[in-house]
Amino acid sequence: MANTMGRSFLQAAATSEEVAPPLRVVQIEGLAVLKIIKHCNEFLPSLVTGQLLGLDVGSVLEVTNCFPFPIREEDEEIEADGANYQLEMMRCLREVNVDNNTVGWYQSTLMGSFQTVELIETFMNYQENIRRCVCIVYDPSRSAQGVLALKALKLTDSFMDLYRNNNFTGEKLREKNLSWVDIFEEIPIKVSNSALASAFMTELEPELPVKQCDYDRLKLSTAPYMERNLEFLIDCMEDLSAEQNKFQYYYRNLSRQQAQQQTWLQKRRVENMARKAAGEEPLPEEDPANPIFKPILEPSRVDSYLITNQISNYCNQINGVATQSFNRLYLMKALHED
């Protein structure tokens, strides 16, 4: 496997196992940011994805370029096309000296509702081939509020191990002390630009007293955004309560089954006593053929974790927007007092 950490060959050969330094920062180039924004905005309201290219250097993951994926239709033959497209793009970009290294993918999201099982699946897929990959999520609706809503996500290692073994029982989770916050890890993003690009930008765009983002931030009507956020939140709550119900059902079944087992065991014991008194062989205390001994599967907690994540995301967003509104309203009040 390629050693991307820049140590000397001797060192690399000496160490039998490399311990990668934890990923601390994702450094994106302005070019990649602009491309992501452009692609996501063009295809609103449908959600789009694309591939990230860059370099993995120590504790920094550099994203230097990206290219979008075409919108995939639900057709079988398009699958091969998709792979071809990817190969073609990588090859072409290689020819113009763009870093040919996949470091992850980006996707657009609607109101921050990106925590789905598909995301985890994609992560697992990528993780098999690439040692370190990251997913960048861009939220166009939130960016309309005046904030650059770009997030870099990564699955935590502990979660990945659990998921791989499909071992999602309460026991295991308690063992690892894994709660729903530990599924995704958000990594801070740094934006970097080449000197040439920044020279151009400073030259062409004079320092302005006011920017469009200010317009957005000072807009007083946030109602539509909040409304949608709340709608999504309510939906999620319903989902969460459905999950809770599932768990309750499972527990009820489990306890019922245990009660049944107990009664059966009691009966057996009594029978055995009777037999002993009668001088016969005692029957075994267990009977695997009996249906009441069939173990009931515990439902996976992944879904509920994801939903919880989503809910907390919405709550955070609502909080953020509400605080902004407070600021604005007090500003208005001050204005009025003149």
A 10 A CB-CB count for 4 gives 14
Which one, 199 or 265, has the nearer CB to another protein?
A: 199
Give the shortest CB-24-to-another protein separation in angstroms. Answer: 12
Give the shortest CB-13-to-another protein separation in angstroms. Answer: 31
Q: What sign has the CA pseudo-torsion 311, 232, 188, 155?
A: positive
Give the shortest CB-247-to-another protein separation in angstroms. Answer: 7
Contact 24, 60 (CB under 8 A): yes
Give the shortest CB-132-to-another protein separation in angstroms. Answer: 21
Alpha-carbon separation of residue 324 from 31, 146, 225, 229, 331 (angstroms): 29, 11, 13, 15, 11
Which one, 134 or 150, has the nearer CB to another protein?
A: 150
Give the shortest CB-79-to-another protein separation in angstroms. Answer: 14
Give the shortest CB-49-to-another protein separation in angstroms. Answer: 11
d(CA 137, CA 126): 16
Which one, 13 or 44, has the nearer CB to another protein?
A: 44
Which one, 132 or 146, has the nearer CB to another protein?
A: 146
For residue 43, the one-letter residue type is F
Residue 42's region, left for phi above 0, alpha for psi from -120 to 50, else beta, is alpha
Which one, 56 or 304, has the nearer CB to another protein?
A: 304
Which one, 292 or 322, has the nearer CB to another protein?
A: 322
